[in-house]
Amino acid sequence: MKIIVLLVIGIILYFIARGYKTEKFENIKLDIKERFDGDLLNHEAGLLVALMAKVAKADGQVCELEAEMLKHTFSDISRHFENQNEIREKLKDIYKKEKESFENTIEITEKLYKITKNHYEKRVGIIEYLLNIAFIDKEFSETELMICEDISNALKIKKEDFENLVNKFKTFYANQKANQALSLEKAYEVLESNVNDDNATLKKNYRTLVKKHHPDIVSGSGAGQDIIDQATKKLQEINEAYELIKKERKI
């Protein structure tokens, strides 16, 4: 499960790589590692994390993917600092504090705007990054929309650009959902089952197919190597199908 989560994180980070990157931070110098001992809410890094906290908690909970993404972001930002361990802990503290209230969202966003006011594309990248957090659990609630829209307005993002970003994410996740549905349909077909079968029936069908296609059993019947190889491939397909359905059913 951990590997799957990390793979998903990797895909998501690649997907947004064209948008917001820590290398674009106004205050971060890439040629040297700076030491920062002041209030990180006066620094672009801290302000971004504060807004991430608002968006991540907008729907009332932080999912596993959000938590993993936040962890990677803290590490990615802090590595640019000489006192990176201290910065990472401060960023975590900012996140914990700022997720508790939405009252200062506009105030924080306005501070970030002052730092980035001459870099419109960067601000678009920031809102794209925040939208990615909002969509990462594959649900985009009205509360998340409201928070992101407020931040976008305070960053002076054009309405058209904001709406285009929202639609891009909606399309991306709609396509992902459609592909998953097709994969599930194929999984049930592989297990010679249907979506209305109960868990016990599904398990019985799975075991029957495993016994039928297990390479050791096929080999014991005197089959040639080609047949054994086909059985091995079929068994892998059966196992993958069963795992996909179990995950979807949460069993």
- What residue spans define the domains of the chain? 2-157, 180-249
Q: What tokens appear for 150 in the block? A: 């407020």
Percent helix, strand, coil in the chain (nearest 5)? Answer: 75, 0, 25
Is the pLDDT at 191 greater than 90? The verdict is: yes
Q: Which pLDDT tens digit goes with each residue over 124-145?
A: 999 998 998 898 888 899 999 9
Share above pLDDT 90 across residues of the chain, in percent, rounded to a whole number = 46
Q: Which pLDDT tens digit goes with each residue over 195-232?
A: 999 999 999 999 999 888 887 777 767 777 888 778 88
Q: Which residue is it, tokens 């910065």?
A: 87
Do 2-157 and 180-249 fold alike per CATH? no
Q: Are 238 and 190 in contact (CB under 8 A)?
A: yes
pLDDT of residue 98: 94
Task: Just give the CATH number of 180-249.
Answer: 1.10.287
Task: Just give the CATH number of 2-157.
Answer: 1.10.3680
Is the pLDDT at 180 greater than 80? The verdict is: no
Instruction: Please state, in angstroms and rounded to a whole number, the distance separating the CA atoms of residues 133 and 127.
Output: 10
pLDDT of residue 32: 58
pLDDT of residue 23: 40
